[in-house]
Amino acid sequence: MLTQEASPQFAKPITVRVIRELTDRNSFHGWAWIQAYVLDRNGDAVQRRELFVRPVGLRPVPPPSRSRARSRRRGTAGGDR
């Protein structure tokens, strides 16, 4: 989860799944560029973003319960993959 501890731009917190740190970009000490997926309340990726954050401000969030994820998949077209 990204809050104002990670960057002032996150006055309204967002939940992300970090893909990787972008180490080829210059940043200030204590800050980093990351590539991440913004997640909805079900834990599904809805947007890919590159963000400038303070890594010490990143907060882990438990994944959505497996029962919710499993029941959501049953209702999708195309069956099991």
22: which residues sit within 8 A by CB, 6+ positions away?
Answer: 32, 33, 34, 35, 50
Q: What is the pLDDT of residue 74?
A: 54
CB 50 within 8 A of CB 37: no
Q: Is residue 65 part of a domain?
A: yes
Domain of 49? 16-74
Q: Is residue 50 part of a domain?
A: yes
Q: Is residue 36 part of a domain?
A: yes
From 22, 61, 25, select the one nearest 41 (Cα to Cα). Answer: 61
68: its two tokens:
């919710």
Q: Is residue 44 part of a domain?
A: yes
Q: Give the pLDDT confidence of 9-52 residue by residue, as tens digits.
A: 999 999 999 999 999 998 899 999 999 999 998 899 999 999 99
Q: Is residue 80 part of a domain?
A: no
Q: Is residue 2 part of a domain?
A: no
Q: Give the pLDDT confidence of 48-73 residue by residue, as tens digits.
A: 999 999 999 999 988 777 655 555 55
Q: Is residue 1 part of a domain?
A: no
CA–CA dist 18, 8 (Å, integer): 18
Count of domains for the chain: 1
